């Protein structure tokens, strides 16, 4: 299989199901229920970390917008403008919602619902892709439920969550979506994609895949980033030292320090940006109010401020959208 779905690793059944749905949608833009036909207006894509939930949803969005001639093959060619802009996050009718805080609130979801009600401008349909739908608050889930129950004619919702457990996705939302379950990619599949897409030698690809725990992104980092491999070796060495009573406490401290250092490397840019936003917000909030000559007492830092100062725990904030 060629095209956008080659980005999915070890998910042949999912590729076939989503391709069949896109093929059906190509000839019929009307919606059907989750149980009668291959295309519907709301999808829930679940899978363990590293399985490719977001990748699957994005590939499906590209296939639904694909403008290639049907005689040239299945939708999702990966070459037409609709496919390339969707995969790049710049398609005008594909709205990718990426939460950057602890939750997606009701105000943000209402804005999404408003956009979802518009007619597509250049594509076949308006697509809303919500990553980490398990972060929807109760109010946000209810706001989304209303439009999923009565969707606009040309709108498709793609939700990504770890599982169908009620802790991850509201039961009412789950019941109105067609469920697609991804599996943990096999070691062989991960090794193959590392060799094919990253040009790695067979031994390196096989080793990275074997120690990745089925996580494609982790395997790629271990295979291509020497510092990631060094951090792993240090962590393993400290874990071995921890079984020796004389080294246990020191090893534990070193292990925590190593984890914090790695988290800092991965989140430094984002933490700095969020801290600056909070500084600006707190500066505005602390403006003087009341009669001239009186100053408001400085307020203690909020929990969000303290969270932002700790790069391991991102501060609650809105979300990031891609698309226009």
**At a CB cut-off of 8 Å and minimum separation 6, what does 172 contact?**
141, 145
Whole-number pLDDT of residue 237:
78
Verify that 117 and 199 share a domain, yes or no.
no
Shared-domain flag, residues 13 and 133: yes
User: Strands (DSSP E) along 100-195, which ranges?
Assistant: 126-130, 155-161, 178-181
Indicate whether 261 belongs to any domain: no
Neighbours of 239 (CB within 10 A): 12
Same domain, 167 and 233: no
Same domain? 87 vs 211: no
Q: Which of 17, 48, 7 is nearest to 182 (CA)?
A: 48
- Which residue in the block uniquely carries the two structure tokens 């060094």? 230
Q: Name the more confident of 33 and 99.
A: 99
Same domain, 175 and 212: no
Domain shared by 136 and 194, yes or no: no
pLDDT at 1 over 90: no
Say whether 33 sits in a helix, a strand or coil. Answer: coil
Same domain? For 164 and 222 the reply is no
* Pair 33, 97 in one domain: yes
The string of DSSP letters for 247-296 reads GHHHHHHHHHHHHHHHHHHHHHHHHHHHHHHHHHHHHHHT---SSTT--P
Does 200 fall in a domain?
A: yes
pLDDT digit string (tens) for 213-246? 888 888 888 988 888 888 788 778 777 776 777 7
Q: What is the pLDDT of residues 286-312, one digit of tens each?
A: 444 444 443 343 444 444 444 444 444
Q: How many domains does the chain have?
A: 2
Sheet holding 155-161, edge to edge: 178-181, 42-46, 155-161, 126-130, 94-99, 319-322
Give residue-wise pLDDT tens across range 48-98: 988 899 999 999 999 999 999 888 888 999 999 999 999 999 999 999 998
pLDDT of residue 55: 94
What pLDDT digit, counting tens, does each position of 124-177 carry? 999 999 999 999 999 999 999 999 998 888 999 999 999 999 999 999 999 999
Q: Do 30 and 167 share a domain, yes or no?
A: yes
Specify which residues 321 forms β-bridges with.
97
Q: Is residue 58 part of a domain?
A: yes
pLDDT band at 27 (very low <50, low <70, confident <90, very high): confident
| Domain C-terminal end among 167, 184, 201 | 184
Is 311 within a domain? no
Give residue-wise pLDDT tens across range 242-286.
Answer: 677 777 777 777 778 877 887 787 777 777 777 777 777 676 544
DSSP line for 34-78: TTSSS--SEEEEE--TTS-HHHHHHHHHHHHH--S-GGG-SS--S
Distance, in Å, from the CA atom of 123 to the CA atom of 251, rounded to the nearest integer, reads 56
Q: For residue 158, what are the β-bridge partners?
A: 43, 129
Residue 280 lies in a domain: no
In a domain, 153, yes or no: yes
Query: Do 14 and 136 fall into the same domain?
Result: yes
96 is a domain residue:
yes
- 133 and 122 inside one domain: yes
Q: First and final CA of the chain: distance in angstroms?
A: 30
Backbone dihedral angles phi then psi of residue 71, each to the nearest 5 degrees: -70, -15
Whether 315 is in a domain gets the answer no
For residue 208, the enclosing domain spans 187-241
pLDDT for 127: 95
Of 184, 213, 233, which residue is a domain's last?
A: 184
CATH, residue 163: 3.40.50.300
Question: Do 109 and 14 belong together in one domain?
Answer: yes
Mean per-residue pLDDT, 13-39: 73
The rounded distance, in Å, linking the Cα atoms of 160 and 130 is 6
């Amino acid at each position: 299989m060629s095209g956008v779905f080659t980005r999915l690793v070890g998910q042949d059944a999912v590729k076939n199901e989503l391709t069949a749905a896109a093929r059906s949608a190509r000839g019929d833009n009307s919606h059907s229920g989750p149980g009668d036909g291959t295309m519907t207006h709301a999808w829930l894509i679940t899978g363990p970390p590293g399985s490719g939930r977001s990748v699957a949803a994005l590939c499906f969005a590209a296939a639904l917008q694909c403008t290639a001639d049907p005689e040239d093959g299945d939708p999702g060619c990966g070459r037409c403008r609709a496919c390339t802009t969707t995969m790049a996050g710049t398609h005008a009718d594909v709205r990718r919602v990426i939460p950057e805080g602890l939750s997606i609130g009701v105000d943000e979801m209402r804005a999404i619902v408003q956009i979802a009600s518009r007619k597509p401008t250049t594509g076949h349909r308006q697509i809303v892709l919500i990553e980490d739908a398990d972060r929807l608050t109760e109010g946000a889930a209810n706001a989304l439920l209303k439009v999923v129950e009565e969707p606009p004619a040309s709108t498709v919702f793609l939700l990504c969550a770890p599982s169908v457990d009620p802790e991850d996705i509201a039961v009412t939302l789950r019941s109105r979506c067609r469920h697609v379950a991804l599996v943990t990619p096999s070691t062989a599949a991960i090794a193959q994609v590392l060799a094919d897409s990253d040009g790695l030698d067979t031994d390196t690809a096989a080793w990275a895949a074997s120690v990745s725990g089925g996580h494609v992104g982790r395997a790629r980092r271990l295979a291509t980033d020497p510092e990631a491999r060094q951090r792993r070796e240090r962590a393993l060495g400290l874990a071995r030292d921890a079984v020796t009573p004389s080294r246990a406490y020191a090893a534990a401290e070193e292990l925590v320090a190593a984890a914090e250092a790695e988290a800092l490397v991965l989140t430094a840019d984002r933490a700095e940006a969020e801290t600056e936003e909070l500084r600006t917000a707190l500066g505005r909030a602390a403006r003087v109010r009341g009669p001239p000559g009186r100053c408001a007492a400085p307020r203690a830092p909020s929990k969000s401020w303290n969270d932002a100062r700790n790069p391991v725990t991102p501060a609650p904030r809105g979300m990031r959208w891609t698309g226009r």
